[in-house]
Structure 1
Amino acid sequence: MLLQRKYLKEAIGWAGALCSLLGFSLNTLNMISSQSLTYLLLNVLGCAFLIIYAVNKKAHASWVLNSIWLLITAIALVKALMV
């Protein structure tokens, strides 16, 4: 059971990293806009998963940074949905 929990925490971290990297890559390659719902949702998921992972690892700088990034992304998402 303890081993399964460890793997779940690692999977959450990797999923967050992949979401963030995918959004950044697609935006950099001009495949999606930085204001698109796809990009914003990938950032929200990526940040949320990375926050969970960082809190579990007690990596304070990482979860604070991702929390700020999540807040900025949430504001942009609300703006995009209001258009």
Structure 2
Amino acid sequence: MLVQRKYIMEGVGWSGAVASLSAFSLNSMNIVGSQSVVYLTLNIIGCACLITYALYKKAHASWVLNSIWLLMTVVALFRVAF
């Protein structure tokens, strides 16, 4: 059970990394804009996964940083939506 949880959490962490890197890459290549719903959604998913993983690993600096990034992204998404 503990080994299975470890692999699940590793998958969550890697998923977050892929989502965040995808958002950055798509924006850097001018495929999506920094205010697009796709970019912001990928950032939200990435941050949420990375926060979950950082909490599991007790990596305080990482989850604080990603929490701030998540908050900024949610605010930006609301500004785009409304």
Same fold flag (TM > 0.5): yes
Q: Could you tell me the TM-score, scaled by structure 1's length? A: 0.97
Shift of 1:31: 0.3
Q: Is 1:69 matched up with 2:69?
A: yes
Q: How many residues align?
A: 82
Deviations 1:46-66 (A, max 9, x none): 000000000010000000000
Provide the alpha-carbon RMSD of the alignment.
0.4
* 2:21 equivalent in structure 1: 21
Q: How does 1:25-40 map to 2 (within 5 A)?
A: 25-40=25-40
- The amino acid of 1:37's aligned partner reads V
1: CA distance, partners of 2:9 / 2:39? 24
Amino acid of the residue matched to residue 34 of structure 2? S
What's the TM-score once normalised by structure 2's chain length?
A: 0.98
Distance 1:70 1:2 in 2: 29
Say yes or no: does 1:5 pair with 2:5: yes
Q: What is the CA distance between 1:2 and its match in structure 2?
A: 1.5
Structure 1 residue runs of 5 or longer lacking an equivalent are: none
5+ long unaligned stretches in structure 2? none
Matches of 2:55 and 2:21 in 1, distance apart?
20
Cα deviation, residue 3, structure 1: 1.2
SS at match of 2:32: coil
